[in-house]
């Protein structure tokens, strides 16, 4: 197993992770409701996002927080998202960037959960 070094690695990560999200009984209803049939666009945006965070590609433009705040995301959603993400990383990669991806995902989940009006009462 190798580390995350290229945009191809990012694509593998993102597509593998979201295949699991789409099959997950807790997360798929939320994602399906928002994304509907626009998965290709969402996956590309997520590749740009993670590529920017891990490889400094600077392709992502946007504000992920404002898009997620209105969603009815509870503590269980954040926990499941992070568990699937970490497991996907662990199954595909190892190394500095893989560890950084997991660290950043944990921070993203923590920050979004802290600001989510639906999860805040369950902290």
Residue 62: is it exposed, middle or buried by C-beta count within 10 angstroms (0-12/13-18/19+)? exposed
Question: Which range of residues forms the domain containing residue 27?
Answer: 7-122
Can you tell me the distance from the alpha carbon of 74 to that of 102, in angstroms, rounded to the nearest whole number? Answer: 20
Q: Please check the confidence at residue 123 and state whether its pLDDT lies above 50.
A: no
Over the stretch 89-113, which tens digit does the pLDDT of each residue have? 999 999 999 999 999 999 999 988 8
Can you tell me the distance from the alpha carbon of 23 to that of 18, in angstroms, rounded to the nearest whole number? Answer: 8
Instruction: Specify the pTM.
Output: 0.90
Query: Is 40 part of any domain?
Result: yes
Q: How far is CA 85 from CA 17, 37, 53, in A?
A: 6, 22, 15
Q: What CATH number corresponds to the domain at position 68? A: 1.10.490.10
Over the stretch 16-64, which tens digit does the pLDDT of each residue have? 999 999 999 999 999 999 898 899 999 999 999 999 999 999 999 888 8
Query: Is 1 part of any domain?
Result: no
Domain count, the chain: 1
Query: Is 2 part of any domain?
Result: no
Q: Mean pLDDT, to the nearest integer, of 69-74?
A: 79
Alpha-helical regions (H) of 24-95: 28-35, 39-55, 64-68, 75-92
CB contact at 8 A, 113 and 121: no
Query: Is 55 part of any domain?
Result: yes
């Amino acid at each position: 197993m190798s580390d995350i070094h290229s945009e191809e690695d990012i694509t593998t990560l993102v597509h593998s992770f979201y295949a699991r999200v789409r099959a997950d009984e807790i997360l798929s209803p939320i994602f399906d409701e928002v994304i509907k049939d626009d998965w290709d666009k969402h996956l590309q945006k997520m590749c740009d996002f993670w590529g920017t965070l891990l490889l400094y590609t600077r392709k992502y433009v946007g504000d992920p927080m404002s898009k997620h705040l209105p969603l009815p995301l509870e503590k269980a959603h954040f926990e499941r998202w992070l568990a699937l993400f970490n497991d996907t990383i662990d199954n595909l990669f190892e190394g500095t960037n893989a560890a950084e991806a997991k660290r950043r995902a944990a921070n993203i989940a923590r920050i979004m959960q802290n600001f989510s009006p639906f999860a805040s009462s369950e902290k």
